[in-house]
Amino acid sequence: MKVTFLGTGTSQGIPVIGSTHPVCLSDNPKDKRLRVSVLIEWDRYTYVIDCGPDFRQQMLTAQCTRLDGVIFTHEHADHTAGLDDIRPFYFKQGDIPIYAHNRVLKALKERFAYIFETENKYAGAPGVTPIRIENKPFDVGNLTVVPINGMHYNLQVFGFRFDQFAYLTDMKLIKDEEIEKLKGVKVLVVNALRETEHISHFNLEEALELIHKVQPERAYLTHISHMLGFHDEVEKKLPKNVFLAYDNLQIKL
């Protein structure tokens, strides 16, 4: 399995528009972060988790030529706004499966009504096959994916475990029974917005606490704000098996 971090930034990305924060002015490519998403490839299958407003740019950079489906964590714009940009895949492959909680599918139908139309549909619009997921395992390709249920302030969100790889973003609270689903993973990705407390995201301390509970071989932090600090400086402070993810980082399992 190969995982590519398409984006590792928070909802505004880094640099933030108009910001003069030192991290936003950094020349280090690892301090420049698109909106959060990952590309997961194994055997002959290719899936992405979330497709935000940078999706087109991310697909071009990754040189992705096939997409077997999009799996959504939740409905916020920084995770869904790029849905229309699945069009090139649709034109080659036909309807693209999208996997999401029923609430998320409803939100997508409201925002992208023209994609979901069945009568008099605009010829240039992409097509999707909506697949409702709940907090129970579901199959993609030849793998069974295990959802990890959590809360993003007062909004339910899903993380996902793909065999030995697990991906969590926009989490603030995860119950113990959901953490148990993560035990035994080799690689854990988890959001870490900044050092100070936040109402709807793990801060660095909370992310490290979860990693300690799960005990993966390696962990990567994502959904990072400029307020966490410079990439190279933050990495020096982390435990030896914990790393800051950065855009276009590839890992193999």
For 48-65, the pLDDT digits (tens) are 999 999 999 999 999 999
* Phi, psi (rounded to 5 degrees) for 149: -85, 135
Q: Establish how many alpha carbons lie within 13 A of residue 239's alpha carbon, considering only the half-sphere containing its beta carbon.
A: 16
Q: What does the pLDDT average to over 5-16?
A: 98
CATH of the domain at 195: 3.60.15.10
Phi-psi region of 52 (alpha: psi -120 to 50; beta: other; left: phi over 0): beta
Nearest one of 250, 241, 253, 198 to 223, comparing CA atoms: 198
Q: Over 90: is that where the pLDDT of 121 sits?
A: no
Parent domain of 159:
2-252
pLDDT in tens, 142-156: 999 999 999 999 999
Q: Give pLDDT, residue 51.
A: 98
Task: Give the pLDDT band (50/70/90) at residue 120.
Answer: confident
Alpha-carbon distance of 244 to 205, in angstroms, equals 14
Please give the share of the chain, as a percent, with pLDDT higher than 90.
98
Q: What is the DSSP secondary structure assignment for residue 177, as one 8-state letter?
A: H
HEC readout, 74-127? CCCHHHHCCHHHHHHHHHHHCCEEEEECHHHHHHHHHHCHHHHCCCCCCCCCCC
Q: Which CA distances in Å does 30 have to 18, 24, 95, 203, 205?
A: 19, 11, 35, 19, 21
Model-level pTM? 0.97
Q: Give pLDDT, residue 43.
A: 97
How many domains are contained in the chain?
1
Q: What does the pLDDT average to over 83-100?
A: 98
Phi-psi region of 214 (alpha: psi -120 to 50; beta: other; left: phi over 0): alpha
Reading the block at residue 123, the tokens are: 């010829």
Q: Give pLDDT, residue 123.
A: 86
